Structure 1
Amino acid sequence: MEIKLNKRVILDEEDPDDEKIVSTNEEKILYYNSLKERLKANFRKEIFHKIDSIRILKEIKDNKYYKLDGYKSFDSFIKSYRLARSQVYVYLKIANAIEEGLIEENYIIENGIHDTFNLIQNTGNKTINKSKKESIQSLSFHLKHQESYDFYKQNIKIISFILDELVVNKKDWLQEFIDKFKALNE
């Protein structure tokens, strides 16, 4: 058997990774800006690849495609790809949040995997707005009457609005309630 080599045409192209000798300050600034643009482009590509990996892992796990290769569990499948279980767990949590409509891909692109996962962990089952507007933490308190509890539980948004309205716009009413409370507890 004879191996035949084709003639190769080697062009004198510049390698973008070679260090450039920059002489003037203006050239340094231009070169620095081009490096920053390349870095941004690389990060964008990386996050898109991660989002694609998230989708792929979720589909493989949900449809149990790993069994087609003879793997008995999803864990053994991810071990063969040398993926950390914690990393895959994070990816699957994010994939589930996307599927449930709790988070959008744009949020992941803008904020990254780590911040997205932290947001999912901190918000639980609440829907995450596109505007990244986080609500103030919830408040819990004990009620004396079951009837009050039932009403508040059925009308959480209304109660939230009423309490907010009292503090922000109806301070005179709020003061009346405070005075009445103090009178009852004396």
Structure 2
Amino acid sequence: MYMQIKLNKRTLDDSNITEHEKVLVHYSKLKEKLIINFKDEIYNKIETMKILKEIKDKGYYKLDGYKTFINFILNLNLAKTQVYNYLKIATAMEEGLINDDFVLKNGFNQTLFFIKNRESKTIKKSRQNLIKPLRFQLKNKESYDFYKKNAKFASFVMDKLFLSKKDLLEEFLHEFENLKI
């Protein structure tokens, strides 16, 4: 009544696989591990974001005697900018603006860019000025002291000259070019 099953004797031989194929298989495994590690890392960062947000929102940092959240993050040797970027992403997740998959697919920089371009009640717009500061050197110490003390006024004067008194600016430019010769 027993059914007899015969097995073919086959030996899997590595000699049939070329060295190039072995390298390709190994490379493929490394890529898979890398992708898994990146996803794990992103999930860990997302979890970190949520933890930081809860600690900040509920004031848990005060339980350790910290007066401010900034003191808490500095004591943990965390970068302020990174922590506040994490909090922006966590807030956007909480509001339903984005989800975990969005962060996974787009990464952190793209996610932050997306958030900064969206209107939100609780996410503040960045106060970063997109125009880079202008640096130049003055030859006269007295004018340097004046403009340093009145930097916003100097900025106002330069903008006003450029926008509404271009003819005066052109005159100064012409005079300057004649001095060079």
TM-score class normalised by the smaller sequence: 0.5 to 0.7
Q: Does the residue aligned with 1:83 lie in a helix, a strand or coil?
A: coil
The alpha-carbon deviation at position 70 of structure 1 amounts to 0.6
1:111 maps onto 2:106 in alignment = yes
In structure 2, distance between residues paired with 1:31 and 1:123: 43
Question: Counterpart in 1 of 2:37?
Answer: 42
Query: How many residues are treated as equivalent by the alignment?
Result: 104
Aligned partner (choices 51, 75, 79) of residue 80 of structure 1: 75
Query: Considering only CA atoms, is the larger Rg found in Structure 1 or Structure 2?
Result: 2
More helix by share: 2
Is there any run of 5+ residues in structure 1 with no aligned partner, and where? 1-22, 127-186
Letter in 1 for 2:116: Q
- C-alpha distance in structure 1 between counterparts of 2:36 and 2:95, whole Å: 29
Q: Deviations over 1:125-174 (max 9, x none)?
A: 39xxxxxxxxxxxxxxxxxxxxxxxxxxxxxxxxxxxxxxxxxxxxxxxx
TM-score by length of 1: 0.54
TM-score under structure 2 normalisation?
A: 0.55
Structure 1 CA distance for aligned equivalents of residues 117 and 99 of structure 2: 16
Q: Which runs of 5+ in 2 are unaligned?
A: 1-17, 122-181
Matches within 5 A, 1:15-164: 24-125=19-120
RMSD: 1.4
CA positional deviation for 1:106: 1.0
Calculate percent identity across the aligned residue pairs. 50
Letter in 1 for 2:38: F
